[in-house]
Structures are given as structure tokens and as C-alpha cells.
Structure 1
Amino acid sequence: MSVLNAAQENAVAELLRVSPLADELGHRFGAAGHELHLVGGSVRDALLGRLGDDLDFCTDARPEQTLAVVQGWADAIWETGREFGTIGIQKNGLRIEITTFRAEAYDGVTRNPVVEYGDSLLEDLERRDFTINAMAVSLPGHTFTDPYGGLDDLAAQVIRTPAAPSQSFGDDPLRMLRAARFAAKLRFTVDQKVISAMRDMAADLDRITAERIRDEFTKLMCGADPIAGLRLLVDTGLADRFIPEISGLKLEIDEHAQHKDVYEHTLIVVQNAMRLEGGEGPDFTLRMAALMHDIGKPATKAVGRDGRVSFHHHEVVGARMTKQRMKAMKYPKDVTSDVVELVHLHLRFYGYGRGEWTDSAVRRYVTDAGPLLPRLHKLTRSDVTTRNKRKAANLAADYDALEERIARLAEEEDLARVRPDLDGNAIMELLGVPPGPIVGQAWRFLKELRLDRGPLTRDEAEAELYKWARDNGHLSS
């Protein structure tokens, strides 16, 4: 009982941070004859001492009645979720969603719930995904309601469902992915009965749209411990339903270190990348590139006469596979493009330590990476997972040297914006040609020359342009 009282006190203390606003809203609903309860993730986060600025409430009021209560009080109102019983408002910088008690019904076939309004708080809590999200604090009285032991599960750091897992996941299969996401976000353990149901019902995830899966997976990858979530997805077979390339890594031997397979290597790379993110928060693009960087290995595996395993050009194959998978998951084109490019470039560094890189090669490395260069630095360093301390130290020293060389060249040249020494207008004027393909060809020639030799003087650039034009029959008479 003492745990309950302490947790209640913590929850109330957190609620006081947004009071009197929350209580004021509760009074407004009460005056109109309706209930109002802080619920779900907001209560969970309040108990964990991390209540944010997005608050979720439930009520017996129907959407039109909720609108009548908040009209003239809220700073802004949006009705995009009205068909699901949700009205959104903004007040004093807080984003608030108020949802009518729900008793959702699913037919086990369609991807979207059939929304049915409920009549009580307990009915609403029963339909929620996990016990830790099935608690409520009534307003303005601050009465705590916990019918499914969510408080105890929160203290034990375990994820369970209010109803039987099979019933919960049968209602909404996305909840299986949410279990893995909460394991990643909260570092909680998933109950064995829940895991068993996830394993048995993994195929039901096929009922869910790619967009909903993508959003949950993105949140998982941005969690505090995505490795726990990823392992759960692979071990239950859920990963095979939407990103099977990850499970496919388990049997492949990593050529950098024979003591682990590529699957384990990949998880370590994700962890390494997270440590290099800095204090700016989760970097989904970097984490996703770390996860996908070796998915081309199964398709490129070869065993030489000496018995050594190789994966030639797996970065090229992996980039293509990454593009296909992220497109299937409906990721935005710009995010997909960045991840694909990082996968494609992640091996470019190897060989630098042998002294083979010219200044031209360094310029091309920077130019090809473009704005992704900081992430490429982190991904390349993260890819070193060998237990051989001398080898790891040598690779780190080599990359330190490369970064120093990039910095030195950057002082002399603007490596981030390598351009030809002559622009399009100058090319047209010197060659006496109108806009068209010849100008583009000449521009690309001069850019390649700039990458190879560094900055040219005006006279040198013009001489090279004239020579190129004569050699290719483009010099005007």
C-alpha cells in the first residue's frame, strides 16, 4: 500500500505542474455534467516523473459536447481525429487531446478499428494496450484509478496487457509492435505470456498498414534501448513481416571478426552510433543506416579457395535493398535517400590507412557525402567492432588522420561546396555556345578536374576548357 500512496503522491505532484490548467478544464467538464480523466501515457509518464507537454484525457462527453466545453477557452482547436472521438486543443503551450470513452471493436480482418463509444472509465481502460497505460487520474479531484495493476507493473518494469494478450493483439495487431517499442523506450521487460502471443500471432501484423508500422518502428529505433526492441522483433518473428532483412543477418559471418555473426555485429554498430550522436537527441537516419549497413551481405556471400568468407560489393547491394525496404515502409523520399547514401558510402574509408588516398580521393569522399559527412564519420567509426585492440586502435588512428586531412584541405578549399572554376555563363561565353548539353558536359569536366587537382587559376581553367572543347569538337570557329 505504501508503494501505491507514494506513486499517487508523485503523480499528483507532476499534475500540479500543469495545474490549475488541468483542474480548470476538469471544472469546465464537470459544470457541463461530464467526467474528465487524465489517462494513458500521460499518467504513466507522470508516475515516472516525466510528464510532458502533450496530455491525453478521456471523457464521457461526445465530440460535439467536448467542442462546446472548450470553445472560447482553448487557444486553438483541431478536429482531425473527430471521427475517432478525439478533439485536439492547445492551451498555454500545452497540446491536449480529449477522447470520448471508447469500446473499440475489430472484425479481425480490416486494418482500422470500428469506433464504438463507451459509457464508463473502466470500459475505456479495459480496451487499452498495456496495464501501464490503463491508469487514470480524475479531474479536478485527482482520484487515482488502476483496475489492472498498472502501478505494480510500472514498479516491476514489466509490460502486460489488461485483457488476455491474444484478445488484445487480436483486436489490434499493432500492439505487438508497440510492446517492442515500449521495451525500447522504457527499458522494460515484456511479460512471457505477451511474448508467446506475439510469436503465435506475428502473421496478424499483415493486417496493419505500412504507415502505422513505419511510425511505430521509427519510435522504436529512437528509443533509449532500440536493441532490446529489435531483438524482440526478431525473436518473435515480427521483423519477418515487415523488415525480414534484419533476421536474415543472423546466419552470416562477419569478415571483420570471426567471433560473431553479422546480426550481432549490426546491433553493436547501432549501439556505437547511438553513443556518437551527441546531446542532440536520437538521430533516426544514423541509427537506421547503422541497422541496414550490412543487409547486402547475405546476397553477396562467397567463400574463397582458402576458406575465407567475403562479401564483395555488399554496400552496393545493401543500398539497393535499403531503398526497396524503406520505400515499402512508406518512408519519405528524403529520409530514404539519406539512409541509402550512407549505406552505399560506409565502406569508402577502408584502404585509407594504406596510404593510397590522394587529395583528389579525399575531395571526392567529402563531395560524395555532402551534408551527410558528419553522419558518415559516425557510421564509419561505429562499424569498427573488432575485439582486436591493436586493429581497432589502428582504424581509429587512420580515421583521425582522415578527418584531420579533411580539415586541412577545408582550410584551403571549400570542400563542402566544390564547384568548377568556371560557371555556366563563362563556359558559354568562352566557347561561344548557347545553353544546352555542351555546357553541362563542360561543367562536369571542369568539376572533375577541380576534384582531381584542387582550385585552378582563371587562366588554367580557361586553358583546360579550350583543350577539352578542341578534343571533343566543341570549339566554335
Structure 2
Amino acid sequence: MQQVQSALDRLRALAASHPVSALAAAFHDAGHELALVGGPVRDAFLDRAVTDLDFTTDARPERILEIIAPIADAHWDIGREFGTIGARIGGEQVEITTYRADQYDGVSRKPVVAFGDTIEGDLLRRDFTVNAIALALPELRLVDPTGGLEDLLAGQLRTPIEPEVSFGDDPLRMLRAVRFTSQLGFHLDGAAFDAVTAMAPRIDDISAERIRDELVKLISTDTPRAGIELFVETGLAERTLPELPALQLERDDAHRHKDVYEHSITVLEQAIDLERVRRPDDSPDVVLRLAALLHDIGKPKTRRFGPRGQVTFHGHDVVGAKLARKRLRALRFDNDTIAETARLVELHMRLFNYEGAGWTDAAVRRFARDAGDQLDRLVILIRADITTRNQRKSDRLAFAIDDLEARIATLREQEELDAVRPELDGDRIMAILGIGPGRTVGEAYRFLLDLRLDEGRVGEDAAEQRLLEWWRERGETPVESQRTRRADD
């Protein structure tokens, strides 16, 4: 078969490259086995770029260090207790792991490491058969004790041993199955699907950090839909991201609204497409993708039914932002990711709220000020949120966004919109009003900021007069008398 022959040619070329050939020679000369394993071998058959070089060997960690020391630019113990040594050889980073026969006690989250003696035994303990294929070096012999090659060609995910045992050993493998359906475009075989569905509660045994990392990898794939749908269908989402399956709102003939769950996945897909167009060379934008997937999670809590069958979700943006913060915090996301994602969820309706009334310069300034450094992401999210099949409505909304972006660009040139500030700072405010530091200074500052946003630049003299008018309207002592009283004190 041409696909197999092409893969073998790619593997031969990879084996001849540095550092693979250097490592193969070093371990052979030392009397030890070495094999390229897992992702690099799998991806050669899928005609995908090789991004990691993972090796397995019968040598123990101390012996690995002895063998690679003469040829490595650097080496480190990235997981020595698990038998893994990292190194940089000829500018390439590699990982070399001793054959393993991990054993789990079924209670704790960590494996009890037991080093193995054969590559076949090592491959049996891996997550899926497509990742359990090795290329023995330097003889270039494929080692495939579990039928991984057939599964690769069939586009199937299957565990090397009984799925209940494999997932019981490490429940995170259930989330890896979800991710691989999107990353590789494969389907989960029936036995594995049944096992995941039955064992979904075991995902509770996995740390939030490991779950978070798998979710990030899932939404970072080019086409995450299949994985997300499997995530929800198996019940894993209910245990880890319950706000997502909650979007599957019940519908009936009397109360009609679009499928919020389906809409959310479509928004994610459209956000990814727009991201590729606007930032073709950048890595996946995790914040944007999280916001796209979660932007409507406030709808289940805010759904209300009107007397004529209409359905409303008033305030779902604000409620959704709170829910996003809570869930991302529980999944141990960093503070910046939490804040940025929640802000996008909170602001995603801003265009739709303003669109019907038209955009004044003041509204454009406020939109940009409120979005801050999330402005570009917010515009992408708002565009992606247009999923209506009504072409006239879709065209109208797209035109509104185009117009908004043009207005922002114009105002940026005219007013340096990225750094909008009042024309009087805190020191000037205190000097003009004759007051010291305190809450009143902040209130005056916000008044001047609103003035700046509503009317643009008015000049420092006019800003001072407007500040004094605001001060007098509050019933405060005129500035001259205030200053005199302070001097007398």
C-alpha cells in the first residue's frame, strides 16, 4: 500500500537524521536496545510533521545518562523516578525512557513505576494501539504487538489491553481519547466508548491541572467539534465542565430558540477560522477559544419564557462571566486566562446591544476602553457569534462590525484611543478643587473620563471649567473659598 510505503520512507529519513542516528549508534555500541516510539512513528503514517522525538530503551536511567553524556549538548532529569531522561543533541530536544511496566493501585492518581525488560511489554502499557508502535534502531524494524498499524489505517482508537483495565489504570486516558478524536480525526471503538461512558466518574480521581491541560489541548486542535461532542456524550463533561452539557436546553413547540449547545460549538469553529485568517502564524489562542466555547453558559440560568412563546436570556453575558471565572478557577487556570476569558464573555453582547441604536463616537470610545487589550479578540468573538441563517440579518451584523472596526481605526489615528485618559490627572484635580487624596478625587477622575469618552478632546481649559461646574452642582464650596479655608487652617 502506498501509504505504508511512504510512511516507511519517512521513517528511514528520520532514522538517518541527527540526532536519531547518533543516539542509535551510541546505544548499539553500548549493547542496549533503542527504539523511536509513539507519536513520531504514528505521525509518519499520518503524514504529519514530527514535533517530538521520544525513545524507549532497556537501559536504566543511570545507564542512559552514561551513554548520552559524550554526544549530548545538555541533559537533565525531567522524570528520573519514572525512568525518563531529557537531552539536547545537535540542537534537538529528545526524551529517552526506560521500558516500563507501570502498575496502578486503583486508588491513588500516580502510577507505581516498575521498569520492564522488553519493548513488547512496554508497548502494552501505552494508552492506545496507534501510540504503541515502535521503530527499533538501528535495524529499522517495526514493533507492533497490538495491531496499531491496522488501527492507524482504519482511523480507530483502541486500547492495547481491555479498556476497563487501561482507563482504570489511568482515568486521564479517557480525556486523551476525546482529544485524539479531534487531533487525529479518529473514532473511538465501541468497547472503548462503552468503557468511557461507564467509567466517567473515575475522572474525579484526576487532578484539576491534568484535566485542564487536556481540555486546552482539545480546544487547541484545528477541528475540535468531534472531541467536544464525545466529551459531552460520554458524560466526561458533566464531571469536569458541567456548564457545557447544560447548554443542551430542552425545547418544545411553544417556546422556540436556537440550539445553544450547537451554536456554541459553531461559534468556536468560526472563531478558529477567523483566528487563522487574522493570525496565520500564531499558536492557538486559548483565551479566545475558551471564550467562544463558554460565551453563552449564562443562558440556562437566565432563560425566561414570554406570554407569546418568546424566549429571553437577559443578562446572560454578566451571569456567564461569573460562571466562567468560577469554572476556570476550579480547573486551575492562571489568573490572566481567567480574567481575560471572563471579560470577553461579559462583553460579547456589547455590539448587539448597541447595534440597533447606531454607534456614536462616545459609544465607540467606550467599547474600545472597556475591551482594553482584549479588543482584537472581542471583535473576532463577536464576528464568530453570528450564526443566524437569516442572510439579511447576518449581512447587517457583519456590516455593523466592519463599520465599528473602521470607526475604531479612525479614532485611534485621531485620538490615540489605545490610551484614552482624562485631560486632567489626579494632581491637577486636587489643585483645582483644593482637596487632598481620597474618594472624591476618583469620582472627579471618572467624571472627566466620561467627558473624554463622550466628547473627545475638549482641551485642558474647558476640562477645568467643566470640572468646576460638576463640583458646584454637587453643592460643594467654590474652589476659591475652599482654598482660602485650607490656607487659614
Query: Could you state the TM-score of these two structures normalised by the residue count of structure 1?
Result: 0.94
- For the residue of structure 2 that corresponds to 1:38, the secondary structure is strand
Tell me: CA distance 1:111–1:426, structure 2 relative to 1, closer, same or farther (3 Å).
Answer: same
The gaps in structure 1 that reach 5 residues or longer are none
Alignment-derived partner of residue 98 in structure 2: 100
| Counterpart amino acid of residue 130 in structure 1 | F
Alignment-derived partner of residue 274 in structure 2: 276
- For the residue of structure 1 that corresponds to 2:194, the secondary structure is helix
- For the residue of structure 2 that corresponds to 1:290, the secondary structure is helix
Distance 1:259 1:351 in 2: 19
Distance 1:34 1:427 in 2: 77
- For the residue of structure 2 that corresponds to 1:349, the secondary structure is helix
What displacement does 1:433 show? Answer: 4.4
Distance 2:10 2:304 in 1: 58
Distance 2:6 2:368 in 1: 55
- For the residue of structure 1 that corresponds to 2:422, the secondary structure is coil
Identity %: 51
Distance 2:87 2:162 in 1: 34
Say whether 1:146 aligns with 2:147. Answer: no
What displacement does 1:139 show? Answer: 1.9
Tell me: CA distance 1:388–1:409, structure 2 relative to 1, closer, same or farther (3 Å).
Answer: same
| Counterpart amino acid of residue 393 in structure 1 | D
| Counterpart amino acid of residue 81 in structure 1 | G
The one of 71, 76, 88 equivalent to 2:86 is 88
Alignment-derived partner of residue 372 in structure 1: 374
What displacement does 1:432 show? Answer: 4.5
1:73-113 CA deviation, whole Å, 9 max, x = no partner? 22222213112111111123311111111101111111111
Alignment-derived partner of residue 12 in structure 1: 12
1:40-79 CA deviation, whole Å, 9 max, x = no partner? 1121123323343421111111111111222242222221
For residues 201-216 of structure 1, the aligned pairs below 5 Å read: 201-216=199-214
Distance 1:53 1:251 in 2: 41
Distance 2:407 2:383 in 1: 16
The one of 349, 352, 377 equivalent to 1:350 is 352
What displacement does 1:440 show? Answer: 3.2
| Counterpart amino acid of residue 290 in structure 1 | A
Worse overlay, 364-373 or 389-398:
389-398
Worse overlay, 122-131 or 27-36:
27-36
1:374-423 CA deviation, whole Å, 9 max, x = no partner? 11111111111111111111111222222222222222211111111122
What displacement does 1:248 show? Answer: 0.8
Distance 1:26 1:437 in 2: 70
Distance 1:94 1:351 in 2: 52
Worse overlay, 44-53 or 160-169:
44-53
Distance 1:55 1:267 in 2: 33
- For the residue of structure 2 that corresponds to 1:15, the secondary structure is helix
- For the residue of structure 2 that corresponds to 1:96, the secondary structure is strand
For residues 166-185 of structure 1, the aligned pairs below 5 Å read: 166-185=164-183
Distance 2:346 2:2 in 1: 56
For residues 40-59 of structure 1, the aligned pairs below 5 Å read: 40-59=38-57
Alignment-derived partner of residue 343 in structure 2: 341
The gaps in structure 2 that reach 5 residues or longer are 484-489
Alignment-derived partner of residue 486 in structure 2: none
Instruction: Count the aligned residue pairs.
Output: 473
| Counterpart amino acid of residue 8 in structure 2 | Q
| Counterpart amino acid of residue 416 in structure 2 | D
What displacement does 1:471 show? Answer: 4.5
Alignment-derived partner of residue 401 in structure 1: 403
Say whether 1:37 aligns with 2:38. Answer: no
Alignment-derived partner of residue 451 in structure 2: 449
8 Å Cα contact 2:3/2:45 also seen in 1: no
Alignment-derived partner of residue 26 in structure 2: 28
Worse overlay, 450-459 or 214-223:
450-459
The one of 298, 311, 315 equivalent to 1:296 is 298
Distance 1:258 1:283 in 2: 33
8 Å Cα contact 1:54/1:94 also seen in 2: no
What displacement does 1:271 show? Answer: 1.1
Distance 1:198 1:149 in 2: 21
| Counterpart amino acid of residue 314 in structure 1 | H
Worse overlay, 437-446 or 204-213:
437-446
For residues 235-274 of structure 1, the aligned pairs below 5 Å read: 235-252=233-250, 258=256, 260-274=258-272
Distance 1:443 1:352 in 2: 25
Tell me: CA distance 1:2–1:298, structure 2 relative to 1, closer, same or farther (3 Å).
Answer: closer
Say whether 1:156 aligns with 2:157. Answer: no
8 Å Cα contact 1:252/1:261 also seen in 2: no
Distance 1:66 1:444 in 2: 64
| Counterpart amino acid of residue 94 in structure 1 | E
- For the residue of structure 1 that corresponds to 2:451, the secondary structure is helix
Tell me: CA distance 1:345–1:286, structure 2 relative to 1, closer, same or farther (3 Å).
Answer: same
| Counterpart amino acid of residue 357 in structure 1 | W
Worse overlay, 60-69 or 435-444:
435-444
1:283-303 CA deviation, whole Å, 9 max, x = no partner? 211111111011111111110
8 Å Cα contact 1:253/1:309 also seen in 2: no
For residues 191-202 of structure 1, the aligned pairs below 5 Å read: 191-202=189-200
Distance 1:105 1:59 in 2: 19
- For the residue of structure 1 that corresponds to 2:247, the secondary structure is coil
| Counterpart amino acid of residue 78 in structure 2 | T
Tell me: CA distance 1:373–1:407, structure 2 relative to 1, closer, same or farther (3 Å).
Answer: same
Alignment-derived partner of residue 430 in structure 1: 432
1:246-275 CA deviation, whole Å, 9 max, x = no partner? 111112559xx9574111111111111111
Alignment-derived partner of residue 111 in structure 1: 109
Worse overlay, 460-469 or 206-215:
460-469
Tell me: CA distance 1:420–1:2, structure 2 relative to 1, closer, same or farther (3 Å).
Answer: closer
8 Å Cα contact 2:256/2:309 also seen in 1: no
8 Å Cα contact 1:285/1:339 also seen in 2: yes
8 Å Cα contact 2:257/2:311 also seen in 1: no
Worse overlay, 2-11 or 207-216:
2-11
Tell me: CA distance 1:92–1:435, structure 2 relative to 1, closer, same or farther (3 Å).
Answer: farther
